[in-house]
């Protein structure tokens, strides 16, 4: 079943998260980051940062802070067993650091099909803001829904 294009513009539940050092260190370790500014507060401060900086791609983890991170797709009637991660992109506007609260607000920005409707693409745009309301980053991710082949 194709997703109704009327969902474009739908605002999705947001996420607010305190970024703590242990979370950043764990993420740096999990992603193989070797620069000590991501794990050692003294190294971060020596590099001119007020605290540990948020590593690249960490912001995608904000989506997983909700009890059911894929509910926004399931609520559209999509069978989650048919969903693939398509792509994601990040446009950084400013730095974020441990000790800050970040807010992520998302909306559905596009729905389209390819391969005669066998593949459907669902685009979500997210704005992440810092404690002072400044934009930290703009994220875009695309989910791909595989539909049964039409015969």
Asked if residue 68 belongs to a domain, the reply is yes
Asked if residue 89 belongs to a domain, the reply is yes
Asked if residue 105 belongs to a domain, the reply is yes
What pLDDT score was predicted for residue 78?
A: 94
**How many domains is the chain built from?**
1
pLDDT, mean over the chain: 92
Asked if residue 27 belongs to a domain, the reply is no
What pLDDT score was predicted for residue 125?
A: 97
d(CA 96, CA 49): 10
Asked if residue 42 belongs to a domain, the reply is no
Asked if residue 110 belongs to a domain, the reply is yes
Domain that holds residue 65: 5-19+54-146
Q: Is the four-CA dihedral 105, 108, 114, 119 of positive or negative sign?
A: positive
Asked if residue 69 belongs to a domain, the reply is yes
pLDDT confidence of 67, banded at 50, 70, 90? confident
Asked if residue 45 belongs to a domain, the reply is no
């Amino acid at each position: 079943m194709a997703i109704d294009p009327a969902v474009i513009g739908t605002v999705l539940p947001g996420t607010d998260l305190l970024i703590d050092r242990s979370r950043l260190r764990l993420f740096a370790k999990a992603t193989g980051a070797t620069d000590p500014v991501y794990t050692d507060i003294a190294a971060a401060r020596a590099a001119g940062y007020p605290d540990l900086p948020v590593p690249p791609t960490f912001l995608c983890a904000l989506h997983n802070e909700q009890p059911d991170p894929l509910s926004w797709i399931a609520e559209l009637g999509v069978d989650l067993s048919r969903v693939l991660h398509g792509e994601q992109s990040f446009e950084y506007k400013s730095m974020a650091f441990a000790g800050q609260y970040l807010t992520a607000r998302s909306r559905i920005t596009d729905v389209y099909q390819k391969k005669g409707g066998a593949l459907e693409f669902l685009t979500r745009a997210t704005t992440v803001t810092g404690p002072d309301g400044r934009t930290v980053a703009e994220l875009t991710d695309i989910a791909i829904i595989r539909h049964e082949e039409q015969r």
